[in-house]
Structure 1
């Protein structure tokens, strides 16, 4: 993948840790100039990526990010909508409030919708671009007690990805989704600890509970962030120039769907 996207400008939202950081590093190693966003700037930025502080769950943030990127770099070639999280930490239909639903949809769906909308005119003008929306295995296998609002928001993101690919494909822009399974990230650790706290059980018990509900991973382990990044970098590159409107599961064989 070395230098396959040399000279391209890539934006990775939520790009300071976990899967987002791994994607930023991989795109950089493939030759791209990388911009990352997060709510707060990391204490260390060893790779020197251009950083924009933004809470993308807030409607005004997308225009701010797009304006700064285009002012500073003059174009955008790759958008990785990675920012997302399971904000409700689970609950039944009766315990989830409108605020829970709105929070998850704002971050996991509308952040990508608004950011793409802000950048697409520039991509359309240059007649090229690649958008990759990071979804989740939970969108096709929701766990009612853990991921109801998150799964619904990401399922909507999948449908949006497909619809947008039809609209902008003739204009030279590819739109795909990547759906990781259970991946070893700081966000996953926070998720497990949140379940442990809310259920008054140990972290180990919470992890076993999640894995029992998710099911057995045939490859026998959680995924690594770098493995997700490898797929994303391929989809962003010219080597995937005939791929659009697809949703790639990368879950160690966890999904029972053929």
Structure 2
């Protein structure tokens, strides 16, 4: 295969969850630029979305939503690429004592079980074709949990990483590669919303709230968060033929935040 062809995804079908904004939107754009036929799903289709025929409006947090997405995608045959970007945290600040049963379940469904359900529905066709790539979005919080407001999120991402590694070992001999991306801070709308959560009623300015996040992580040697385009660059590599021997790996993209012992 020519070197240039290893960067291309022509003729391949991809699904990106959470593809309507932030990192998901950047990933959709990157995979399309690489030649893939990209589907995306989110709860609501954005206004004036340019490819409504490739958008499935569904809530993959629920079993019914995952089933709806899988049924729509299956109409076109097996996927070649499945990228689970959807995730986030809505837990209020205040530590473990303020986290309700409902909040724990909501975070686990959004950040872990939603991916498991969609994998269960879509992977059998990939395995039958003996070809495919699955990419789970984790988080450095599986190692550096921020206890004040995102403990359920961090716990769910830790579970996702363990699941992803076990799944990779099982599926690699059958032609399907599974890997994980674990970002640190990313400059997205969701991050700004989290900053708002930390400022509400706390008396802190937005800049103080931002700095508190950096301080809680122990600092960022690079001095900044990653951009969504930088996240998409890494996704593009991992789903391409250039990464054909990468299996069960976790790629951390955090500006050096996680310390190395």
Q: Shared fold by TM > 0.5?
A: yes
The structural deviation recorded for 1:202 is 2.4
CA contact (8 A) 1:36 1:49 kept: no
Instruction: Please state if 1:10 is matched with 2:14.
Output: yes
Instruction: Please state if 1:108 is matched with 2:108.
Output: no
TM-score, structure 1 as length reference: 0.95
**Aligned partner (choices 228, 231, 239) of residue 231 of structure 2:** 228
TM-score, structure 2 as length reference: 0.94
CA offsets per residue over residues 220-251 of structure 1, 9 Å max, x none?
A: 11110010111111111111111111111001
RMSD (Å), alpha carbons: 1.5
Instruction: Please state if 1:122 is matched with 2:125.
Output: yes
Structure 2: 5+ residue runs without aligned partners? none
**Aligned partner (choices 163, 168, 173) of residue 166 of structure 2:** 163
Number of aligned residues? 257
SS of alignment partner, residue 132 of structure 1: strand
Aligned to 1:51: 55
Instruction: Please state if 1:80 is matched with 2:75.
Output: no
Runs (4+) off by over 2 Å? 46-49, 198-202
Alignment of 1:179-218 (within 5 A): 179-218=182-221
Structure 1 pair 182–125 and aligned structure 2 pair: CA distance change class (3 A): same
Structure 1 pair 48–67 and aligned structure 2 pair: CA distance change class (3 A): closer
SS of alignment partner, residue 60 of structure 1: helix
Aligned to 1:21: 25
